[in-house]
Amino acid sequence: MKMKLSEIARVIGADYHVPDALAPTVTGVAFDSRKLHPGDLFIPIEGERDGHAFIGAAERAGAVATLFKSGHEPVATVLPKLVVQDPMKALNELARYYLLMKVNPKVVAITGSNGKTTTKDMTAAVLATQYHVIKTQDNYNNEIGVPMTILSMDTNTEVLVVEMGMDRPGQLNVLSKLVEPDVAVITMIGEAHIEFFKTRDKIADAKMEITDGLKEDGLFIYNGDEPLLRERAKAVAQEQKTFGLNPDNLLYAREIEAGETRTDFSLSRWPDLRFSIPLMGEWNVANALAAILVGRRFHVKPEAIQAALRDFPVTKNRTQWVTGDAGEPILSDVYNANPTAMKAVLTDFAQFPCSGRRIAVLGDMLELGEASAQLHASVAAALDPAKIQDVYLYGDEIVALKEALAAKYAPDHLHYFPKADQRGLIVALEDSIVHDDLVVLKASHGLHLEKVLQALIEGAE
């Protein structure tokens, strides 16, 4: 990004009467003063903490200007203030202007209850074989993250691959209309955020909002194995393509061979090509199919897609193998969790070769609402003492799974620790695990199992 502050003021309707030649040049935007770079425009967000309180810190970090909410109490600063009614709305207006008027790339928007980050990474890798691509970084997939991603683009960006998350109705409608995607992708419908939506039907309705801003000549790509999406896709006028593991999809996978670190598969098309991804699990094959359809939309050759998927960079803590202090292999999947994904990971984990014990460390799955107990208990179907010998449960909601497993597992193989006792969990694992064990960790990010993972890697002090 490179814009004169005077131009930005015109775009968002703020008072700033300085000639362009004398106005400072803005080279980026930031809403966290700790991550601000010299030349940035500071965006004060009013959330749990009022961003206006950090304008001074932004000034010291090298900001050249700040947005400022009209009517807010004064803040002492020498920075130029672009006074607006709503800094968040102004951020969106600036992002839309920069997207359409300064860069104008093709846009691929991706959402889903699970797999959207992996699909985003795969899609970006495929398209990068032929185009200059910018993709969503980290978890910048909400109403703040999407405009920030847009404003991070170089002006020579040809394709923007943007991940979109949501936790309430209407959120994807706003984001989709902001970016006006050329391609909209839905990976799957699960139980994530069912606390707020109550049913999977309502989750599907909210996910379909990603098509609200889809260009008239755009393409809608979705998981055809999901009846809820097939039903709702009938209302979308734009071209559609489906992917999945069932043969009634336009693109489906065959001859899947899953391993600990790679999964190989063939396709209904191009039977002579064998594809491979550096991830475990059939669900990741489905994500790859979505990326393949996007690649073909942009005329990427099958052989180039094959090469890109073979070694695309995998986002940290999403089914990532690491080695613990005792030498044990650990499958880390601690970034997020829902019942569908947890059962899928456990099903694959139970098949991996192991000379010792297979040990599952599972934490609460959040935002499941009134169905939380039932959905936690449903994970018991994927846990077999003959295949996964020890289960460590951590959190408060996961008590329901403990009760469901009580008839399956002997007391000395079923371990429970409340959320307040993460240290107890760590000590118990460190005392038990040996080098020939195989360990999986999975929970919602709010349980912070990454701290348990780090302790297992570093070992006892």
Q: Which residues are annotated as a binding site for ATP?
A: 112-118
- Specify binding-site residues: 112-118
Phi/psi at 183 (nearest 5 deg)?
-135, 130
How far apart, in Å, do the first and last CA atoms of the chain sit?
46
Distance (Å, rounded) from C-alpha 20 to C-alpha 27? 15
Q: Which two tokens stand for residue 51?
A: 């961003």
Beta bridge partners of 390: 359
Question: DSSP assignment of 345-387, as one string?
Answer: HHHHHTTS--SS-EEEEEEPPPS-GGGHHHHHHHGGGG--TTT
Cβ burial, residue 373 (10 Å; 0-12/13-18/19+): middle
Distance (Å, rounded) from C-alpha 408 to C-alpha 414? 9
Chain position carrying tokens 């984001």 = 175
Neighbours of 362 (CB within 10 A): 26
Distances (CA, A) of 85 to 13, 15, 67, 223: 10, 12, 10, 41
Instruction: Give the three-class secondary structure for 251.
Output: strand
Q: Which of 39, 49, 92, 46 is nearest to 69 (CA)?
A: 46
Stated as kind and residue range, the H or E segment containing 394 is strand 390-394
Question: DSSP assignment of 197-242, as one string?
Answer: H-SHHHHHHHHGGGGTT--TT-EEEEETT-HHHHHHHTT--SEEEE
104 alpha carbon, distance to own chain's centre? 24
Chain position carrying tokens 């996910």 = 207
User: Are the C-beta atoms of residues 4 and 16 closer than 8 Å to each other?
Assistant: no
Q: Which alpha helices (DSSP H) does 62-110 contain, by range?
A: 87-97
168's CB contacts (< 8 A; 6+ apart) are 193, 196, 206
> HSE-up of 161 (CA within 13 Å, CB side)?
26
256's CB contacts (< 8 A; 6+ apart) are 245, 263, 264, 265, 282, 285
